[in-house]
Structure 1
Amino acid sequence: MTARNFLTFDMILRLFQIVLSFVYVGFLLRQFWQPVAPLAAASFHVYMAVALVFAFNPLNWEGAAKRLLGRAIDLSAVVLSLAIVWLYMGEIRRLERRFEMIDPVFALDIFLHVTGLVLIFEAVRRSVGWSLLSVVLIFLAYGYFGYIFPGWMAFPGFSLATNAELITMQTEGIFGITASAAINFVFFFVLFGAVFTFTGGGALFIDLAMRMTARLKGGAAKMSLVGSALFGMVSGSAIANTTSTGVLTIPIMTRSGYTKDQAAATEAIASTGGQLMPPIMGVAAFVMADMLGIPYATIAAAGLIPALAFYFALFVIVDLRARKYGVGNVAPELLNIPPVLPRVHLLLAPVVMIVTLIVGYSAAYAALAGTAAALVVPMLRKSTRYSLRGLFDCVLDTARQMAWISAPLAAVGVVMVIATQSNLALKFVRLLSDIGSGNLYLSLVLVIFGCIIMGMGLPTVAAYIIGSLVFVPALMELGIDRLAANLFVLYYCVLSMVTPPVALCSYAASAIARSDASKTGLLAFGYSLVIFLVPFGFINDPHILWQGTALEIGIGAGGMLLATFAWAVFLMGWMKGNLGYIERALFLTCSLALVLLPTLSPGWGLSLAGIGVLLLWRLILRDRLALART
């Protein structure tokens, strides 16, 4: 009888997975052609996503009785989430017409607020763990009991009814920017990534990376970098990037001389950088577009040069490490790469998406165009045709990915509304101004520490949203452009994926490599030092964010790449031999000067010449001088 109950519960959960996935994906697709009102769309989206989290990630308690209880809780949570969707649909007209803080808050509104938040919080715990949930609960407690907090943080606090109005009864809070970004941007790119991967595009990217880098020095690690950068173009998830590319690249790296910790750390930082790679740039960039009210294509263009500089610096470090220690060279017998040419037409799908973005169509339209191409193009050749039955799993995968993204995003909406309505963000601006004393670089360093500390326990998108609320206004007070300030915060929040103790990418890579998770996390964070220089570059030179004439952008990009090259040489301490302390200091000085001094200023030009002299000395003159002495 017990076994039958398990079977029945599991079958019901599976049925919920299938039905809810198709309804949810169908609704989000319909939003593109026949959108419903924002509050109706957001409430349906949030609680359908929550229901899907419970359906896809059931409790796995050991023991017959506990397992039976767990399934009962799972099914109850799914049904209750769907009931909340139904209740919101019934009340939507009243909620849309009511006047905030004037019309009464009914008992039903309180029920929806309390029950809905409990379900969202449990969905967050199941999808990303306690790290984000702890932060959200602290902010929620602050919203109720702000008067018990010390000093500048203190404020009177909100009543239960006021919190309900702010968080769950209007297009703010859980139904605010995070929900609209998920509906209008994130879904379409998640759909594209799922379809493109299903039809063979993801495997093609990895195979291309292997073909391009296998014969290079340190080819094992370089294929990880190239593969992760390419995969990052079509996937907004660093974890998905790690698991998709890491299962192939990590074993090759370990067989070519890297330790398990080094291989896992290299894959972790390479996949983390995928969140910075246009055109998708992870979920945070979609939220940024919605918050700033600017076209997503503008953000994607702004992110291109910094992302290339990041991967270029990583590429240089991998190359220098391979030459210094003689590791990473790939033996031909380790590779069994299927022919790429018969599949090259699959690249038309991302090309269609990128071109559609460039010519001025919306991000959602571009992603849909790319998805259509990803479905049609593989059918043009017999060798790449797919079974239509596979699309069934593709829909489920899209719904599952969206649920895992949307539940945490909804919870972050609580943080956003409490931080703004309590004036916490404004208070922090004043505090940072007092501590930084108006000094730009001191304030930037304080923001960096804040982003890294906050990112230790949060997914990238959560860390960015909170950082944008707390840090961006302070940076704008110092005269930094709004887009540059947001990207500055995003870059350091990206490090949350490799920052211990909660380094999700590092842990995912460690699980594949079977390495020590703590050592892997620390190594990956050490490798992430290559990113530290890049944001200072676009703070000082807006041309790096694709602003200005082609000549100005080209000069800015060239200076940025050369600065990151010198920075990588400094970090590695090797260039055709170990660097002396003076040489290393000179590389560091020239690198910092290229980034911090105005482009084309005399000091900038002197730094450029200095790097040229250092390279000439290390690569040619030093050996010739040594030969002449002998």
Structure 2
Amino acid sequence: MSDKVESDPTAEVVSEEALKKAEEYIEEEEGAANRLSGWLGIFLSTTAVAMSLFHLYAAYSIVPTQTLRPIHVGFVLFLCFLIFPVSKHFRHRIMWWDWIAALMSIAIVVYLIVGGDDFTDRNTRPNPWDIFFGVSLILMVLEAMRRTIGWILPAISICFLLYAFLGPYLPHPWTHKGYEIGRLVGFMYMTLEGIYGVAVDVSSSLIILFTIFGAFLQFSGAGKFYIDFSFSAMGGKPAGAGRTVVLASFLLGGPSGSGVATTVTLGSVAWPMLAKVGYERNAAGGLLAAGGLGAIISPPVMGAAAFIIAEFLKISYLDVLLMAVIPTCLFYLALFLMVEIDVRKYGMSNTIIKKVDTVWNLTRHYWFHFLSLISIVAFMMMGFSPVMSVFWATIVSFLTSFLRADSAMISYDLFRGKGKASEHIFQSRLVQALRAGSVGMLNVGATCAGAGIIVGVVTMTGLGLKFSGIVIDYAGGSLLLTAIYTALVVWIIGLAVPVTASYIICAVITAPALIKLGVPDFAAHMFIFYYAVLSEVSPPTALSPFAASAITGGDPYKTTLQCWKYTIPAFLVPFIFVLDPSGQSLLLMGTTEALAKANWLHIAQITFTAATGIFALAVGFQGWLIVRASLLERVLLIFAGFMLVYPGPISNSVGYAMVVLALASQWMRRKKTAVAA
């Protein structure tokens, strides 16, 4: 495959400094890891590979939940303390306190497992050793989060712990009976409801397996193929540059589920192309970040929060993928509309990007990468569980990689008897993928363990019901206002914490408010999920736009505003499936059983209305369609977009009428311009 787009040699090139700065934003999301060589590097790599192999074994064999979750957290903590330094001052070396913390994480797990049933039975009256290890676990989880994702989520977790202790001293309606340290530790450490609760269950059984699968795709060359395929499929037209970014972000982001990584990977290749066709720096960065954002909401992997949705709702992951299909299509429709308008807005009509290669040649040589991508859904539809589906999809990715020498996970030289077998295996892409699969999810694993503290406090104190009652009271019982308040709460929390943590926190404290007003639980959770995703593009944690601006050389905050412009039409869609029962059709009724009884004509109608609303908002926010939109046309289209995303025959009729008026005005102005010319 070609390494880059064929373009004018005068096109800009992404500098090493820009890529280094962009990598810093990835580190901000995933933690600033040590880079160690020698025996320490081998030891950490071996441990990470062992962690991946253990979880692959647990997917195929039977490992009791009471064993799997603590071992998973033990692996996460052990590697976190050795890979991520206590501060940047101590980077690229392991200090004595790191070893103590790492060994303590093992001791905590050993003490729990050796304790057996007696250990869990005394969770309401823990002994001094139970309290010691339990307090140590809580402190270590807080420190692991601080090292991997920063201090904000640990600070929030501490606030929740203080809420559990200080309940009797708080004003109404926040008061509760309060809990002593022993009772709190017993719940958090000695049951499967606190730290080892739902979030860690999903992290240990699904998230790490999907991370390993994504690493297998990446190291087998699938990521590069998806980018080249997008260049070939979308090149040769004036809108080819923007279309390429949109399609590549979907293909590349779907398996990764990481917005920042997708933005940086794609941006390093696509920015010179975007610059050549006329995108200014901030607009190009906004488009790249918007494409990366799509990775978090795109099947078949989506973000880590999607797995937790399935666990919270007690539905299959296939149902979550099903619910995401139409909203994902609408999201990318918004991006495609935006880049089509960009052609007119930035005068790109005479600039065409050459293709890398023909679609046929790329597909003929690397078709098996598509097989790896769709195999997960295929296995699920065959009746496999999500865990077994991703396990076998990983096996498929591994086996099909050998169809070409340049994608083989183990060098062909091993089978030809050239060189030492141990060197081939240790340096192989297989080992690199297994290592990356574990290391790549440490920040998520630490986040899920920390989220268990928050969920545990909410469960013990009944905070979720209290908070939902307060929100409903402020909204006066109005579903629209409750939805707006909920979206604002999710967005505000998302300003400080990553997507997964934002979703978990809001799912337990805000979802009850929507559900109490009659919104189905699956619609409420998907609504919260989509607004939690906004944390990826919301300062001060707007990591995707900031990483994109580092590549393009644009202003971080202007790039963030451009990203919002590209994505906001699609992010008004969640209101459709919350405000009216008919809007739940966009989620394909939530389950495969409900879908079988669904009215497809009604689903098509709601989808068309949502698509028209997105079109109106895209044109209104961009200010272009056939010609530059007047102020009146922009107001008409933006107002029409809001009316179309609010379910109801009257609001939809008014919205359609305004779209027709704006389009008629555009057409008449175009004719006048043509006559004058």
1:450-461 to structure 2, matched below 5 A, reads 450-461=489-500
TM-score norm. by structure 2 comes to 0.85
Higher mean Cα deviation, 519-528 or 233-242?
519-528
Tell me the equivalent position of 1:38. 65
Q: CA deviation at 1:243?
A: 2.5
Do structure 1's residue 315 and structure 2's residue 342 form an aligned pair?
no
Tell me the equivalent position of 1:94. 118
Tell me the equivalent position of 2:131. 110
Q: CA deviation at 1:302?
A: 0.7
Tell me the equivalent position of 2:19. none
Could you give the per-residue CA deviations for residues 105-139 of structure 1, whole angstroms, max 9, x where no partner exists? 11111111121122211211111111222211211
State how far apart, in whole Å, the 2-side matches of 1:69 and 1:627 are.
Answer: 69
1:139-154 to structure 2, matched below 5 A, reads 139-154=160-175
Do structure 1's residue 479 and structure 2's residue 537 form an aligned pair?
no
Tell me the equivalent position of 2:396. 373
State how far apart, in whole Å, the 2-side matches of 1:68 and 1:380 are.
Answer: 38
Tell me the equivalent position of 1:4. none
Equivalent of residue 622 in structure 2, options 572, 580, 590: 572
1:126-525 to structure 2, matched below 5 A, reads 126-326=147-347, 332=353, 340-341=362-363, 342-382=365-405, 384-388=407-411, 389-525=428-564
Counting aligned pairs with the same residue, the percent is 27
Given that 1:218 and 1:329 are in contact with CA atoms closer than 8 Å, whether structure 2 keeps it comes out as no
Tell me the equivalent position of 2:15. none
Distance change (3 Å), C-alpha of 1:330 and 1:301: farther
Given that 2:641 and 2:655 are in contact with CA atoms closer than 8 Å, whether structure 1 keeps it comes out as yes
Distance change (3 Å), C-alpha of 1:332 and 1:519: closer
Given that 2:331 and 2:567 are in contact with CA atoms closer than 8 Å, whether structure 1 keeps it comes out as no
Q: Which amino acid aligns with 1:261?
A: N
State how far apart, in whole Å, the 1-side matches of 2:437 and 2:36 are.
Answer: 23
Q: CA deviation at 1:226?
A: 1.6
State how far apart, in whole Å, the 1-side matches of 2:259 and 2:407 are.
Answer: 27
Higher mean Cα deviation, 178-187 or 30-39?
30-39
Do structure 1's residue 604 and structure 2's residue 652 form an aligned pair?
yes
Distance change (3 Å), C-alpha of 1:68 and 1:334: closer
1:576-595 to structure 2, matched below 5 A, reads 576-595=626-645
Tell me the equivalent position of 2:7. none
Tell me the equivalent position of 1:16. 43
Higher mean Cα deviation, 356-365 or 171-180?
356-365
Distance change (3 Å), C-alpha of 1:603 and 1:59: closer
Given that 2:199 and 2:308 are in contact with CA atoms closer than 8 Å, whether structure 1 keeps it comes out as yes
Tell me the equivalent position of 2:78. 51
Could you give the per-residue CA deviations for residues 487-546 of structure 1, whole angstroms, max 9, x where no partner exists? 111111100011001212223323333443333334334433223321012223111111
Given that 1:316 and 1:568 are in contact with CA atoms closer than 8 Å, whether structure 2 keeps it comes out as yes
Tell me the equivalent position of 1:623. 670
Could you give the per-residue CA deviations for residues 7-30 of structure 1, whole angstroms, max 9, x where no partner exists? 999645324312321322122122
Do structure 1's residue 546 and structure 2's residue 588 form an aligned pair?
yes
3-state secondary structure, aligned to 1:596:
coil
Q: Which amino acid aligns with 2:118?
A: R
Higher mean Cα deviation, 68-77 or 392-401?
68-77
State how far apart, in whole Å, the 1-side matches of 2:337 and 2:358 are.
Answer: 25
Do structure 1's residue 84 and structure 2's residue 108 form an aligned pair?
yes
State how far apart, in whole Å, the 2-side matches of 1:325 and 1:22 are.
Answer: 48
Q: CA deviation at 1:68?
A: 9.9
User: For this pair of structures, how many residues does the alignment match?
Assistant: 615
Tell me the equivalent position of 1:74. 98
Q: Which amino acid aligns with 2:438?
A: A
State how far apart, in whole Å, the 1-side matches of 2:641 and 2:448 are.
Answer: 38
Given that 1:124 and 1:408 are in contact with CA atoms closer than 8 Å, whether structure 2 keeps it comes out as yes
> What residue ranges of structure 2 are gaps of 5+ in the alignment?
1-33, 412-427, 590-597
State how far apart, in whole Å, the 1-side matches of 2:93 and 2:641 are.
Answer: 60
Q: CA deviation at 1:59?
A: 4.6
Distance change (3 Å), C-alpha of 1:273 and 1:489: same
Q: CA deviation at 1:170?
A: 0.4
3-state secondary structure, aligned to 1:533:
helix
Q: Which amino acid aligns with 1:27?
A: F
3-state secondary structure, aligned to 2:237:
coil
State how far apart, in whole Å, the 1-side matches of 2:351 and 2:42 are.
Answer: 46
Q: CA RMSD in A?
A: 2.7
> What residue ranges of structure 1 are gaps of 5+ in the alignment?
1-6
State how far apart, in whole Å, the 1-side matches of 2:268 and 2:93 are.
Answer: 35
State how far apart, in whole Å, the 1-side matches of 2:92 and 2:406 are.
Answer: 46
TM-score norm. by structure 1 comes to 0.91
State how far apart, in whole Å, the 2-side matches of 1:629 and 1:8 are.
Answer: 66
* Larger RCO (CA under 8 A, 6+ residues apart): 2
Distance change (3 Å), C-alpha of 1:522 and 1:109: farther
State how far apart, in whole Å, the 2-side matches of 1:117 and 1:329 are.
Answer: 60
Q: Which amino acid aligns with 1:392?
A: V
Given that 1:220 and 1:330 are in contact with CA atoms closer than 8 Å, whether structure 2 keeps it comes out as no
Q: CA deviation at 1:380?
A: 2.2
Q: Which amino acid aligns with 1:604?
A: N
Distance change (3 Å), C-alpha of 1:519 and 1:570: closer
Q: CA deviation at 1:373?
A: 1.6
3-state secondary structure, aligned to 2:255:
coil
3-state secondary structure, aligned to 1:576:
coil
